[in-house]
Amino acid sequence: MSDDVVVPMLLLEFGGKDEQPTVRVRGHLTADTAGAFTTSLVSSGYSFGHPIVVDLSGVTLIDGHGLSALRICERSFAEDGAQLIFKHAC
C-alpha cells in the first residue's frame, strides 16, 4: 500500500478507506516511535465522523509513551466526531 508509514521498529498499514477504515500497527510503540505514530494517524486523511479500527495485534512492545500516543489520538479524533476502536489491545 502506498499510504503505509514505516518508522524504524514501527509500521502502520492503512486500509479500508472506502469501507471500514483500518490501521494495522506493527512493531514497537515506544518513546522512539510514539511521535511518528501520532502524527501519521492524525494526518491519515480518514474522514472524521466515522469509526476507525486500530488493530494493535502486531504491537510487540508498548511503553507509557505509546499508551499516551493512543490516548492523544483517541482524543483528537473524538474532538472531530470520530471514534477509534482498538482491537487486540492486550
Where are the alpha helices (H) located in the chain, listed in sequence order?
34-42, 64-79
- pLDDT tens sequence for the chain (90 residues): 456 666 678 888 988 766 788 999 999 999 999 999 999 998 887 766 778 899 999 999 999 999 999 999 999 989 888 889 999 876
- Helices 64-79 and 34-42: crossing angle, nearest 10°? 20
Q: What is the pLDDT of residue 1?
A: 45
This prediction has a pTM of: 0.83
Using DSSP's 3-state secondary structure scheme, residue 60 falls into: strand
**Do residues 48 and 16 make contact, with C-beta atoms less than 8 angstroms apart?**
no
**Do residues 36 and 44 make contact, with C-beta atoms less than 8 angstroms apart?**
no
Q: What is the pLDDT of residue 32?
A: 92
Q: What is the pLDDT of residue 67?
A: 96
